[in-house]
Structure 1
Amino acid sequence: MAVDLELVLAVDVSGSVDEEEAALQRQGYVAAIADPEIIRAIRSGILGRIAVTYFEWAGDGWQIPVVDWTLIDSAAAARAFSKKLSHASVGSGPWTSISQAIDFSAALFGTNNFDGTRRIIDVSGDGPNNTGGLVVAARDAAVARRITINGLPIINDRFNISRAPMPNLDLYYRKCVIGGPGAFIVVAHGFRSFAKAIRRKLILEIAGIMPRAPPTETPVPGYAQAVGQAVGQAVGNTPLQRWVPPCDEGERRFRGIIDDE
Structure 2
Amino acid sequence: MKVKHKIETSKLRNAAAVVAVMLGGFSQPLYAVDVDTELLLLVDVSGSVDSSEYDLMMQGYADAFDSASVLSAIQSGAQGAIAVSLVFWSGATQQQVGVDWMLIDDAASAAAFSDAIEASTRPFNGSTAIGSALQYGATAFGTETGQADNGFTSVSQIIDISGDGTDNNTPPDEVSRELNVQAGRDAALASGVDMINGLPIGDEDGVLKTYYEDNVIGGSAGGVDAFAQQTDTFGDVQTSLEAKLISEVGAGAVQSTAIPEPRVAALAGLGMLFILCKRRV
Smaller-chain TM-score bracket:
0.7 to 0.9
Are residue 192 (structure 1) and residue 235 (structure 2) matched? yes
1:125 is matched with which residue?
163
Q: Residues 51-109 of structure 1, C-alpha deviation per residue, up to 9 Å, x if partnerless? A: 00001111121112110000111110010111111112233321100111111110000
Q: What is the count of residue pairs matched by the alignment?
A: 201
User: In terms of mean alpha carbon deviation, does 138-147 or 21-30 score higher?
Assistant: 138-147
Q: Equivalent of 2:49, from 3, 6, 17?
A: 17
- Tell me the equivalent position of 2:3: none
Say if 2:60 and 2:235, in contact at 8 Å, map to a contact too: no
Give the superposition deviation at 1:26: 0.2
108-117 or 79-88: bigger deviation? 108-117
More helix per residue = 2
Alpha-carbon distance between aligned partners in 2 of 1:167 and 1:76, rounded to the nearest angstrom: 36
Runs of 4+ aligned residues of structure 1 deviating over 2 Å after TM superposition are none
Secondary structure at the aligned position of 2:101 is classed as strand
| CA-CA distance at 1:113 after TM superposition | 1.9
Match 2:136 to one of 99, 104, 107: 104
User: What residue in structure 1 maps to residue 275 of structure 2?
Assistant: none
- Which consecutive unaligned segments of at least 5 residues does structure 2 have? 1-32, 143-147, 172-179, 253-281
Select between 18-27 and 111-120 the one with higher mean Cα deviation: 111-120
- Give the match for residue 59 of structure 2: 27
User: Which deviates further from its counterpart, 3-12 or 82-91?
Assistant: 82-91
The answer to whether the aligner puts 1:154 opposite 2:192 as a matched pair is no
RMSD, aligned CA: 1.6
Q: Counterparts of 1:200 and 1:91 in 2: how far apart (Å)?
A: 27
The answer as to 2:63 corresponding to 1:63 is no
What SS does the aligned partner of 2:54 have?
Answer: helix
Q: Percent identity?
A: 42
What is the identity, as a one-letter code, of the residue corresponding to 1:116?
S
Q: Distance in 2 between matches of 1:143 and 1:77?
A: 29
Alpha-carbon offset, residue 30 of structure 1: 0.3
TM-score, normalised via structure 1 length: 0.74
Q: Is the 8 A contact 2:197 2:228 kept in 1?
A: yes
Structure number with larger C-alpha Rg: 2
Contact kept, 8 Å, 1:96 with 1:130, in 2: the verdict is yes
Q: 1:57–1:93: 8 Å Cα contact kept in structure 2?
A: no
Q: Distance in 2 between matches of 1:124 and 1:11?
A: 5
Letter in 1 for 2:182: V
Where does the alignment leave 5 or more consecutive residues of structure 1 unmatched? 158-165, 210-261
Contact residue 198 and residue 228 of structure 2 kept, 8 A: yes
Q: TM-score, normalised by structure 2?
A: 0.69
**1:179: how far off?**
0.5
